[in-house]
A and B are shown apart, each in its own frame.
Chain A
Amino acid sequence: MAATTDAAPALGPGIYRRKTKTQRVLNALNGMVAVPMRDPFALVGLAIYVVFVLVAIFAPQIAPYDPLEILFADGKLASNIPPLTDDHVLGTTNLGRDIYSQLVFGTRSALIIGLSAAFIVAALGTLVGLLAGYFGGLIDTIMMRIADVALGIPFLPFVIVLAAFLDPSVWNIVLAMALLLWPNTARVVRSQVLTVRERAFIDAARVTGSSTSRIIFQHVAPNILPLSFLYGSIAIGWAILTEASISFLGFGDSNVVSWGVMLQDSFLSQALSRGSYHWFLPPGICIILVVVAGFFISRGYEEILFPKLRD
């Protein structure tokens, strides 16, 4: 927010120049990292991500226990141990599982669900938007009608209905997101493509005989990648929140360690009546942190992509 417009990002509108292929791709990728660097919020978001990613990678080293192992002490179930007892930083669950270890391993599920959903939503949305925007005509009409239908399907109810037919699995959520949430991205990408394709360097490419796919993927696509990124970063949060809700409603996969399943477990084990806030609060806080991080980063992009919202 404190950043000023004069540090014009390489990707802001109106800066489409003809460059070599490598340059363009490098520039695009560079922009993705460079953009957040200009916005303090985005920087914070990025920092949160980095921490969680590190935790996810080194989860086995960080977590003192197997998150699903039922622990015993002196032949008795080690259940409901209060926090900061021995090496149970956050105590244990009603079934004698180490809460801290679950929290640490939950990072993996969160990132896997979040990133795969974000990737699919962004990739699918971008692809559809590219094709619809570039070719226009019938392809455009058909794809945009499909997008309308997808937007007419209520999201959470759809995931619940899917749960009626499919086995409990986090991939249901990714599937539902892939099916329903791409149109937002596609629509915005499409309108961006509509402006880009009229630009001179595209005409030049066309005149010099570049193939259509070459034009789309090498000339047009790099210019809309930040947009895809924006929508992807919001999708991460959506996926994680949806997983939590679905687990809470009892359609989750209890064999996976996730923050949503942890919340569900604590809720069903009456953590609130027991006063076990050390069980009930941390997964919720982690969810907030990751989702907010996504919002922060997406704001960073938005401020630059839609500078009219700035002064």
Chain B
Amino acid sequence: MIRKKALLTALALSGSAFAFAALPAATPALAAGDAIRDLTLIARDQGANPQAFQAAQLIAQAWGKLGLNVSVRGLPRLQQSELVWYNRDKWDMTMWQMVGRPERSDPDELVYNLFHSSTAESGYNFIGYKSEEFNKLAEAQRVETDKEKRRELLRQAQAVLDRDQPNMFLVYPKRSFAFDNAVFAEDSVVEQPGLGIKNIWSYLGAQPLGDQKDMILNSTDPLNAINPLYISGATDSWVTELIWDRLLRISPEGLAEPWAAESFEWIDQTTIDVVLREGMMWHDGNPVTVEDVVFSFEVPNVGDEVPMYQPFVKNIESVEATGDRTVRFKLKGPSASFLTSSLAKVNLTPKHVWEAVIDDLANRPENAESHQEDLPIGSGPFKFVRWKQQEEVVLEKNADHFSPPNIDRWIIRIVSNTEATVSMLRSGEINFLSDYNGDPEVLADVADKDGDIAIVSSTDIGFQYATVNHRRPPFDDVAMRRALSLAIDRNLMVAAAWNGSAEIANSPVSTALSYWHSDDTDAISGSLEEAQQILKDAGYEVIDGRLHYPDGIKETLEGP
């Protein structure tokens, strides 16, 4: 009897444990608008991005002090994009990240795509930021081929973003990578600014010291596809850029330099001639020809079969073979980023393999992204050997390549367990830590104990941020956004969420891109008082700890 009663009491009492967030809004006593609804800050689940998740918790607590009732909700990647990307008017706040890729060494992609109004409906501007002033600057820098002038335009664009605070940029993370320096000569591993040592130059250059001639890397996420016509997951792109060559490649210095192209020459602002390197072969033994090059740049425009590469060839008016080894590109208009985001981006794809596939797809609703070759054929420095889902991808050295690697095999292991990943690095089950989401300090300790692990951390081109939906009040209000941004203590973000392994961010152009990054925007550093003052000045009021709209404004939306 007693026991039963006690249990019931426990049940009744503990019901309140779940009621943290459900306090009813107090009735306003002063002249003010409605109370602002309860808000949900969406984040990737803790396992996928522990730092950002931790940051979200800190941000929710900070915004709570402004009088907002914010709860964090961790979601898997696809559920997050389902909500944020496909239901653009249904969410209030989310954490988001842009990852560094070699092509993003040119600031155009992240500046233009993220904030230009044209991408608000279905593109990268999912937050719905709209500014004519910004649009003009973003368009102008795109076609400005004078580097100095372009930099000035980008500076102005960054200033507009600093003023409007469409996003609350948090940090450019310093990514930690590590390798076993008893297996690979330390000076043969190459660091590329913004990307770290996880780049093709390391894979090509790494000099094995002993019998272990396999480079064994790790990935947290499983691979999605190995396809030259599809930009799928992050890990997938590490693989595709090794199997398939590109005309140019981004050098360790961040510039687009000749690769499969022996040379290139601008004839005028919209015409460029490219000379293909001699004697290149596909992995199946066929020669790489100019027809293959033409095919590679034309195929994204065949119907809708290669949607993801369309933006990168959109500016091409025509591409034709002008000789055995020469190809001429004619552009629709001048483009500052053509070398980086087209010639160094598009994979050289064998016509004899893909032409038939594309023809076949023309009659079906699927596109080239749904086609997975059993044995992918490229011309790159590594050949495909096998792909075992959930286990590994194995590539082997292409000894016939014009720039053959020193290692025999390049293997990527799928390990989602971070603790196990670190242990594998120590035991030699992996010897190149290419994907580490854990605490840099833990890694440093492990390296200390182990003795032959070298850690390299570099500031990312990508960035982590919190953002709000401009389509939904009060986030259409610059004052609100500025207040939210200032309320976030960036130093705390760096110290507490990223364990000191990050730089404060306030621009889509990372400090890793030092030429393009505008130092003027660095000043953002928050104080709660400032944020509260901004809200007060804009007419917002805190009543009983709860933030209310300025006088006369009704809450038209519902909380979670």
Given the contacts A30-B1, A109-B17, A256-B18, A270 and B46 also touching, CB distance less than 8 Å: no
**Any A CB within 8 A of the CB of B428:** no
Partner of B17, one of A108, A168, A273: A108
* Interface size bracket, B side: 35 or more
**Any B CB within 8 A of the CB of A268:** yes
**Could you tell me the distance between the alpha carbons of A33 and B6 in the complex, rounded to whole angstroms?**
13
**Any A CB within 8 A of the CB of B156:** no
Interface size on A, residues (CB 8 A): 44
A52-65 interface mask toward B, CB cutoff 8 Å, 1 = contact, 0 = none?
Answer: 01101101000000
Q: Report yes or no: A270 in contact with B422, Cβ–Cβ below 8 A.
A: yes
B33-55 interface mask toward A, CB cutoff 8 Å, 1 = contact, 0 = none?
Answer: 00000000000011110100110
Q: Which residues of A contact B496 (CB under 8 A)?
A: 77, 79, 95-96
Q: Which residues of A contact B15 (CB under 8 A)?
A: 112
Query: Which residue on chain A has the smallest CB distance to residue B497?
Result: A95
Q: Report yes or no: B7 in contact with A53, Cβ–Cβ below 8 A.
A: yes
Q: Report yes or no: A265 in contact with B73, Cβ–Cβ below 8 A.
A: no
A226-256 interface mask toward B, CB cutoff 8 Å, 1 = contact, 0 = none?
Answer: 0000000000000000000000001000111
**Any B CB within 8 A of the CB of A4:** no
Q: Report yes or no: B18 in contact with A268, Cβ–Cβ below 8 A.
A: no
Query: Which residue on chain A has the smallest CB distance to residue B45?
Result: A250
**Could you tell me the distance between the alpha carbons of A59 and B50 in the complex, rounded to whole angstroms?**
28
**Could you tell me the distance between the alpha carbons of A1 and B390 in the complex, rounded to whole angstroms?**
49
B402-446 interface mask toward A, CB cutoff 8 Å, 1 = contact, 0 = none?
Answer: 000000000000000011001100000000000000110010011
**Could you tell me the distance between the alpha carbons of A77 and B48 in the complex, rounded to whole angstroms?**
22
**Any A CB within 8 A of the CB of B364:** no
Partner of A108, one of B14, B423, B442: B14
Partner of B3, one of A46, A112, A256, A270: A46
Min C-beta distance of B304 to chain A, whole Å: 29
Q: Report yes or no: B46 in contact with A265, Cβ–Cβ below 8 A.
A: yes
Min C-beta distance of B158 to chain A, whole Å: 30
**Could you tell me the distance between the alpha carbons of A45 and B210 in the complex, rounded to whole angstroms?**
59
Give the one of B3, B17, B20, B54 with max A CB within 10 A: B17
**Any B CB within 8 A of the CB of A111:** yes
Q: Which residues of A contact B251 (CB under 8 A)?
A: none
Given the contacts A77-B496, A270-B418, A29 and B76 also touching, CB distance less than 8 Å: no
**Any A CB within 8 A of the CB of B492:** yes
**Could you tell me the distance between the alpha carbons of A250 and B220 in the complex, rounded to whole angstroms?**
14
Instruction: Name the interface residues of B135-193: CB closer than 8 Å to any CB of A.
Output: none
Q: Report yes or no: B1 in contact with A112, Cβ–Cβ below 8 A.
A: no
Q: Which residues of B contact A96 (CB under 8 A)?
A: 496
Min C-beta distance of B305 to chain A, whole Å: 30
Instruction: Name the interface residues of B291-338: CB closer than 8 Å to any CB of A.
Output: none
Q: Report yes or no: B7 in contact with A115, Cβ–Cβ below 8 A.
A: yes
**Could you tell me the distance between the alpha carbons of A32 and B3 in the complex, rounded to whole angstroms?**
10
**Could you tell me the distance between the alpha carbons of A267 and B20 in the complex, rounded to whole angstroms?**
25
Min C-beta distance of A96 to chain B, whole Å: 7
Q: Report yes or no: B3 in contact with A255, Cβ–Cβ below 8 A.
A: no
**Any B CB within 8 A of the CB of A76:** yes
Q: Report yes or no: A53 in contact with B46, Cβ–Cβ below 8 A.
A: no
Q: Report yes or no: A57 in contact with B1, Cβ–Cβ below 8 A.
A: no
Partner of B492, one of A77, A250, A273: A77
Partner of B419, one of A46, A56, A70, A267: A267
**Any A CB within 8 A of the CB of B212:** no
Query: Which residue on chain A has the smallest CB distance to residue B418?
Result: A270
**Any B CB within 8 A of the CB of A94:** yes
**Any B CB within 8 A of the CB of A182:** no
**Any B CB within 8 A of the CB of A184:** no
**Any A CB within 8 A of the CB of B480:** no
**Any A CB within 8 A of the CB of B523:** no
Q: Which residues of A contact B446 (CB under 8 A)?
A: 273
Partner of B72, one of A33, A254, A264: A254
Q: Which residues of A contact B442 (CB under 8 A)?
A: 270, 273-274
**Any A CB within 8 A of the CB of B378:** no
Partner of A115, one of B11, B47, B54, B422: B11
**Any A CB within 8 A of the CB of B227:** no
**Could you tell me the distance between the alpha carbons of A109 and B423 in the complex, rounded to whole angstroms?**
33
Instruction: Name the interface residues of B46-84: CB closer than 8 Å to any CB of A.
Output: 46-48, 50, 53-54, 57-58, 61, 71-74, 76
Chain A to chain B contacts (Cβ below 8 Å), 20 pairs: A33-B2, A53-B6, A59-B17, A77-B495, A105-B17, A112-B15, A112-B17, A115-B7, A115-B10, A168-B73, A254-B45, A255-B71, A256-B17, A269-B439, A270-B418, A270-B439, A272-B419, A273-B423, A273-B445, A274-B442
Residues of B near any A CB (own CB < 8 A)? 1-4, 6-7, 9-11, 13-15, 17-18, 20-21, 45-48, 50, 53-54, 57-58, 61, 71-74, 76, 418-419, 422-423, 438-439, 442, 445-446, 492, 495-496
**A-B pairs with lowest CB-CB distance, top 7:** A77-B496, A108-B14, A108-B17, A250-B47, A273-B442, A56-B10, A53-B10
